[in-house]
Structure 1
Amino acid sequence: MTSFTPNANDTSSTAAGDSVGGGAPAFSPLYQQIKSLILQSLQAGAWKPGEMIPSEMELAARYRVSQGTVRKAIDELAADNLLLRRQGKGTFVATHAERNVQYRFLRLLPDTGDRNEEGPTQRNIISCRTIKGLSDICKLLQVPTGECLIHVRRVLILASTPTILEDLWLPSSSFKGLSAEQMRDYPGATYAMFEVEYGVRMVRAEEKLRAVLPDEAQAQLLHIDQATPLLSVERVAYTYNDVPMELRRGLYRTDTHHYSNTLS
């Protein structure tokens, strides 16, 4: 991991032309540069999801900065849900296997009770195959048109009711060997499986929502009629450094569930 000698006041911005690690000129506060270095280590897999990272004191010594500078960098990474502080234990790489994190991108909640009362989600995998990506799909995944992608279609069954119909597109180069059986039988969250089996961690997502009516095939898979309104959710999920790794288009039933989000 890169180390460097900071300015005399390590909480100030670097001078014009200075850079961390000899790269392009940097003009950001020093804690932002430390944040960037830690992020590089996360991306490189220096610390796996769920593992504890070095202490603030160790990182401060490694980077030759104050412990307060490291703390501020870690605070931002924790706010971004990339790191997780545990009181009295240390700081860990966040993982989708954590119960309080695994549903981070699933905002559909039951109208009564809570998600835990519904029991585990059942996955009915309709298909899982390799395809040549169409232009609109490839554009969102930032790959050339015609690139090999894995396309998965599945129905998620909540409380014994088919509730979500999803189409997923993934770069095949990053998910070699992914199968319908693996998608169906993995005991944890799908994003946790991507972490453990393929070393791909989804760190953020962008969504677009609209109301739609299903076509005949979609209605049959969700056990509804074609006059039932659905919530259409298009999500692009990104790994480190804003690299898109998944496009997901879902149709959500909202007769017994609702989409919930907290804005701050």
Structure 2
Amino acid sequence: MTKLNSVSDAIIRSIESGALREGDRLPSEGELAAIHGVSVGTIQKALIRLTHSGLITREQGRGTFVSGTRVAPADVRYLRFRDEDGNELPSYVHARSVKRIKRKGPWSDFLEGDGYVRIERVINVGGRFDLYSEFWLREEDFAQLGGLDREALEKNLRELIGQRLSLPTLRVDQWIRFGPAPAIAARELGLDAESPAFIMEMRGYTLRDQPLYYQSVYAAPFTERLMIVREKSS
């Protein structure tokens, strides 16, 4: 594990265990460097990473604080990873926005219909890297879900649809490729506009093989060797 990952993991563990609570101020960069035995530059990179992931906030002239959002491993069973030592990396989901959209795209080709809702989320994997996710539903299906607060949006959306609409996900087709990411995904992942990103596209089907949802997941290049944890069938 790199020094950067080690520092990020240590701060995340402190938040998860309750040693650092919502609103708590973290030690200064110099103090953190001394605590972890690394350079101030490494601490700055770790704090930037955790800030981007929504786990902490940095306020000019005041310091760095544990974020006010709920910090707990999210229930994202279809994107789970282990590191080379076999340790499962927790995923932290942060809902960015929910938008109703009329324009067409691969989501409309699959879902059909006239209007769609796009749920944008950032999924941080073990404090090490981010995934940007766009989850598309038909507008009428989203309306039937009822009001969704932030906590609901940061849970497993497939299970939420199954529970509230009685529409289980029975099959998922997946494709992977490299290509330019949309501007918003590039911005969230810190990519240049034309830089290639890893792209995974998923199409979920429900009863009678009917289209249920469309999802795209984007990732910037990363060097770690990770194992994908397969979801167990019930």
Contact 1:128 1:180 in 2 (8 A): no
One-letter identity of the residue aligned with 2:94 = N
CA displacement at 1:115 relative to structure 2:
6.3
Aligned to 1:167, the other structure's residue is in SS state strand
Residue pair 1:207, 1:234 contacting (<8 A) in 2 also? yes
Q: Does 1:242 align with 2:214?
A: no
Aligned-partner SS, 1:175: helix
2:92 maps to which of 113, 117, 122 = 122
- In the alignment, is residue 230 of structure 1 matched against residue 202 of structure 2? no
Contact 1:155–1:162 under 8 Å retained in 2: no
Distance 2:122 2:220 in 1: 11
- Matches of 2:167 and 2:179 in 1, distance apart? 31
Number of residue pairs the alignment of both structures matches: 153
Please give the per-residue CA displacement for 1:198-248, whole angstroms capped at 9, x wherever unaligned. 322111111221112446543331245567643111111101211111011
Q: In the alignment, which residue of structure 2 is the partner of 1:181?
A: 150
1:1-264 equivalences under 5 Å are 103=77, 105-106=78-79, 109-114=81-86, 116=88, 118-119=89-90, 121-134=91-104, 136-141=106-111, 143-144=112-113, 147-176=114-143, 177=146, 179=148, 181-186=150-155, 189-214=156-181, 217-224=184-191, 229-255=196-222, 256=224, 258=226, 260=228
Structure 2 unpaired stretches of 5+: 1-74
Q: Residue in 2 aligned with 1:35?
A: none
- C-alpha separation between the residues in 2 aligned to 1:140 and 1:261? 27
Quote the sequence identity (%).
15
Task: Report the alpha carbon displacement of residue 185 of structure 1 after superposing the two structures with TM.
Answer: 4.4
Following the alignment from structure 1 to structure 2, what is the Cα–Cα distance between the partners of residues 128 and 251?
18
Partner of 1:49: none
Counterpart for residue 36 of structure 1: none
Provide TM-score, normalisation by structure 1. 0.49
Which structure 1 residue ranges, 5 or more long, are not aligned?
1-100
Deviation for aligned residue 1:136: 4.0
Q: Which runs of 4+ in 1 moved over 6 A?
A: none
Change in CA separation of 1:173 and 1:251 when aligned onto 2, cut-off 3 Å: same
Report the AA paired with residue 204 of structure 2.
A
2: distance between equivalents of 1:109 and 1:225?
26
Contact 1:130–1:151 (CA<8 Å) still a contact in 2? yes
CA RMSD of aligned residues (A): 3.1
Larger-gyration structure (1/2): 1
- Aligned-pair distance for 1:167? 1.1
CA offsets 1:102-155 (integer angstroms, 9 cap, x no match): 73x43x634424463x23x222222112222515432211x23xx121111111
Query: Residues of 1 paired with 2:229 and 2:124: CA distance?
Result: 21
Higher RCO (Cα < 8 Å, 6 or more apart): 2
Equivalent-residue separation in structure 2 for 1:102 and 1:203 (angstroms): 17
